[in-house]
Structure 1
């Protein structure tokens, strides 16, 4: 865990937050196949006031939760602070990030004082939810601190950097009995993907026979990616890997929720965008999940492209008696050859956010659908993919060695 000095914790405020209801574990009872659901719990949004002012405006009956931000890896902590500051049921108390530049970004996003250390955030009396956005290598240690303090966890992707840390996180959450949610927003929390997930679980289209998901980000040729997100080029022992980790975790997580854990995995990677070539880090990868009856193919990563750019997040699923193509960025759904506007397909469907799922669990509702156990299985699948690349063979799951082969010896 990194250390460093910043300004001290914020002034004490009247404590408005209480939760005395029994909390449910956020771990899926059947790893890799958590089918619980959570209802969205709307509340009136207060606008044009900062987070602390909104906290003071609420009564105990309204229940507002104080949030502490741990880390700002790749600006994710700043984005996290923005989400919690904008939510009508939460306010940002404090946060910590050891790197000077990222600490300044985090403080500006929080509009609240920085704490002097990670421990100071965890121990702050007004913090009831800890939002983790540290380097992947630090996630397990942060979860241990939070679990000891008995505080709820909101863990931004990726979960961590290797299977051993994933298992440690899973066990710590289970043993502490604290609510925890995995925040992996760009696929699973989009309403269209969430609706399809529920339709597949309800067997609306029958058994899956084929699956292909292309997911990633595109940039201009001259985009300064290494200067913008230098953490993406950190050693695997810190970051877990390149874009198969960063982008791949989204597609893997969704596939595991929709299809379950595969029997084995096989993968290939490519390094063709100059900054990644120079750093010897993959910017693109293909991950093939073997489910016995069919393959699920995930194409993930980042590209520099010419001309106009748009989102790259499209899914094709073929079933025994139907087929389905989804491209939310293009506003298009194709069901068995019949195109429909996205809004027509959604028909008002909404997906509870990771924050709403966590708050529901804190107040005695269902455990978060975006659970830690499935996220931990995802880390294992990803590291199996890396092992497949290095050894040029399919790799059976679960792994016999809980290691990330990019930086851990196979012996």
Structure 2
């Protein structure tokens, strides 16, 4: 459902999976659906939601429409008996995620947020190594994910009716990883800077745990370093830029070195240092075929074939928890420059 840029990337990456194909495409415009379908084999084209969801050839639905449509379309797909993979953010309110989880659970229908970065080989590798104790217990996570987007009329990034804002578009990435590693925080604090349209141009989050903290931010107001730091009680790890498409991990012999490397940012000197061997650092590279969206599709397909209604790597409870953090910060008055 949807024929935008992310839908095209996802459909292209399905071509890397021998057991997957695009069976049908839905758009509000039949012409757009037909054009998209022509790019990806012999898919049927629909401009009617009910007819699309009733197509017996469709075994699962990927929702890649504007943010504000995700939850309602997911519920329609579940009601039609179709497993569903819902592009991030899965919804604009945590209550909507809970409704999706309830409907999926009652029907025994698979539902998952398509937060693709969680399924990348580098992220899986880091999660396994951290769980095995490589860096000790996680004590601090730091990240900023920022890409400059000018506030222009019609921009989806700033349109509140389309679910715009930095937190929904970018903040879900570091928040999701932090909650996956540390669980739900005991306390949430932070701030947000409003754009002219009322959505957040920048958001800052602090998640406090009994023995750890996550300091995260995102924004449309600058091009950031876009790296992520995980400090353990013994050593540390940096996801090199851009961490949402993690292709390089740098493991440091102690957390202080990892923090210092993170602070250096991604300028020319840092890029030069990263190409050179360094004492106390081990780097791992994870080149990706395609765009990296095939891994989440593969996980969803495996869960559906196994008859599960959820995925352990991306449970709906964590999707709801991420939105609760965003809701907590957005409930505060916006800050000003």
Work out which of the residue numbers 10, 13, 20 in structure 2 matches 1:90.
20
Give yes or no for contact 2:95–2:320 (8 Å, CA) kept in 1: no
The aligned counterpart of 1:196 is: 126
TM (normalized to structure 1)?
0.64
Displacement of 1:102 in angstroms is: 6.4
Displacement of 1:385 in angstroms is: 1.9
User: Which is richer in helix?
Assistant: 2
Displacement of 1:124 in angstroms is: 0.6
Deviations 1:207-241 (A, max 9, x none): 2222101223357xxxx7747x8322222x541x4
The aligned counterpart of 1:361 is: 303
Unmatched segments (≥5 aa) in structure 2: 258-279, 287-291
- Cα distance in 2 between the residues matched to 1:169 and 1:357: 19
Displacement of 1:162 in angstroms is: 1.0
Give the direction of change, closer, same or farther, for the CA distance of 1:99–1:390 in structure 2 (3 Å limit): farther
Give the direction of change, closer, same or farther, for the CA distance of 1:103–1:384 in structure 2 (3 Å limit): farther
Work out which of the residue numbers 74, 78, 100 in structure 2 matches 1:147.
78
The aligned counterpart of 2:157 is: 232
Q: Counterparts of 1:234-383 in structure 2 under 5 Å? A: 234-235=159-160, 238-239=162-163, 241-270=164-193, 277-304=195-222, 312-329=225-242, 331=248, 333-335=250-252, 336=254, 337=257, 338-343=280-285, 353-364=295-306, 368=311, 369-383=313-327
Displacement of 1:356 in angstroms is: 0.9
Give the direction of change, closer, same or farther, for the CA distance of 1:301–1:91 in structure 2 (3 Å limit): same
Displacement of 1:127 in angstroms is: 0.4
The aligned counterpart of 2:329 is: 385
Give yes or no for contact 1:78–1:105 (8 Å, CA) kept in 2: no
Give yes or no for contact 1:354–1:370 (8 Å, CA) kept in 2: no
Deviates more, 1:158-167 or 1:199-208: 199-208
Deviations 1:75-110 (A, max 9, x none): 333333323344321111222222689657744654
Give yes or no for contact 1:194–1:351 (8 Å, CA) kept in 2: no
The aligned counterpart of 1:119 is: 50
Displacement of 1:175 in angstroms is: 1.2
Give the direction of change, closer, same or farther, for the CA distance of 1:246–1:115 in structure 2 (3 Å limit): same
- Cα distance in 2 between the residues matched to 1:238 and 1:351: 23
Displacement of 1:168 in angstroms is: 0.7
Displacement of 1:145 in angstroms is: 1.7
The aligned counterpart of 1:14 is: none
Secondary structure class of the residue paired with 1:265: strand
- Cα distance in 2 between the residues matched to 1:141 and 1:122: 13
Give yes or no for contact 1:217–1:302 (8 Å, CA) kept in 2: yes
2:113 aligned with 1:182? yes
Residues paired across the two proteins, number: 300
- Cα distance in 2 between the residues matched to 1:153 and 1:137: 16
- Cα distance in 2 between the residues matched to 1:295 and 1:263: 10
- Cα distance in 2 between the residues matched to 1:80 and 1:230: 22
Give the direction of change, closer, same or farther, for the CA distance of 1:146–1:364 in structure 2 (3 Å limit): same
